[in-house]
Amino acid sequence: MEKEKKLTIHHLFWYFIIFSILGLILETLYCYIGTGVFESRKGLIWGPFCPVYGVCGAGLIYILEKLNCKTVPKLFIAGIVLGSIGEYFLSYILEAIYGIKFWNYEYLQYNLNGRISLLFSFYWGVLSVVLIKFVKPLIDKGLNKLGTKPRNVIDILIFIFLVIDCIFTVWGIQTYQNRVLKNIQTKENSNNIFIELKNKIENDYFTNERMSKIFPNLRIRDENGNEVWIKTLIND
């Protein structure tokens, strides 16, 4: 029994995967309920992943287990504090990597620099209770049924896919950003086969239409310091 309760890298990795997917579903439904529009809320260019939920979900479980938070009130309060801190710093980290904002809560009351808000902090508290009391035991039960060899193979394959996904996401967003904001166009022809392949991917795959659909809420500050949606700057 003690072995089943022990948190491992394998468990944390799968918490990240599952909560990235569940987070995307919740975010999409929340958007639809609020606006009546189904809109992509993905954080990566491929797959149904919203990594901020994966990182915060896995991180919450790890820290809550270390703090030995067992009661609902403790889980709720710790979830509010830890979830808010994690979301705030993840906002900075993602902006540093991509150069743009993925979310902004300035439209909500009681927000801090648009990076976190009281409403979503409350959601983190509720989520922490649900994670520890209901979701985590179900995930652990399923993970502990997997044999070591198939488990390791699956972990490695998914990890490799996510690394490639992250690389293409950063590449795609930078291409999209440079094209729309800086009018930097990828050259069509080249004598180097690798550069030609790179140019083809940027021109044919990372199109403005595709990128604006996958990441419709990407924001950046213009030369006047105003925050604008990149998709609104696309010239038809």
User: Do residue 67 and residue 43 come from a single domain?
Assistant: yes
User: Do residue 156 and residue 95 come from a single domain?
Assistant: no
pLDDT value at 1 more than 50? no
pLDDT value at 46 more than 50? yes
pLDDT value at 163 more than 70? yes
User: Do residue 9 and residue 95 come from a single domain?
Assistant: yes
User: Do residue 153 and residue 135 come from a single domain?
Assistant: no
Question: Of the candidates 112, 143, 174, which is a domain's last residue?
Answer: 143
User: Do residue 132 and residue 158 come from a single domain?
Assistant: no
Q: In one letter, which amino acid is 236? A: D
User: Do residue 203 and residue 153 come from a single domain?
Assistant: yes
Could you give the angle at the alpha carbon of 179 between the alpha carbons of 176 and 185, nearest 5°?
125
Handedness of CA 119, 38, 134, 104 (dihedral sign): negative
User: Do residue 13 and residue 69 come from a single domain?
Assistant: yes
User: Which whole number is the average pLDDT over 76-82?
Assistant: 92
User: Do residue 20 and residue 118 come from a single domain?
Assistant: yes
User: Do residue 116 and residue 206 come from a single domain?
Assistant: no
User: Which whole number is the average pLDDT over 213-226?
Assistant: 78
Domain range for 94: 2-143
pLDDT value at 107 more than 50? yes
| Per-residue pLDDT at 190 | 67
97 neighbors 104 (Cβ within 8 angstroms): no
User: Which whole number is the average pLDDT over 121-141?
Assistant: 88
| Per-residue pLDDT at 206 | 94
What is the distance between the alpha carbons of residues 126 and 176, in angstroms, rounded to a whole number? 36
Question: Of the candidates 128, 143, 158, which is a domain's last residue?
Answer: 143
Q: What is the mean pLDDT of the chain?
A: 85
For residue 56, give both structure tokens: 């915060």
How many domains, the chain? Answer: 2
- Which 3 state secondary structure label does DSSP give 96? helix
Q: Which helix (H) or strand (E) segment is 228 a member of? A: strand 227-229
Phi, psi of 221 (to 5 degrees): -90, 135
User: Do residue 26 and residue 138 come from a single domain?
Assistant: yes
Full-model pTM: 0.79
User: Do residue 161 and residue 50 come from a single domain?
Assistant: no
Give the range among 23-37, 91-105, 134-148 with minimum mean pLDDT: 91-105
Question: Which of 1-15, 159-173, 187-201 is most confident?
Answer: 159-173
Question: Of the candidates 90, 113, 143, which is a domain's last residue?
Answer: 143
| Per-residue pLDDT at 4 | 44
User: Do residue 104 and residue 215 come from a single domain?
Assistant: no
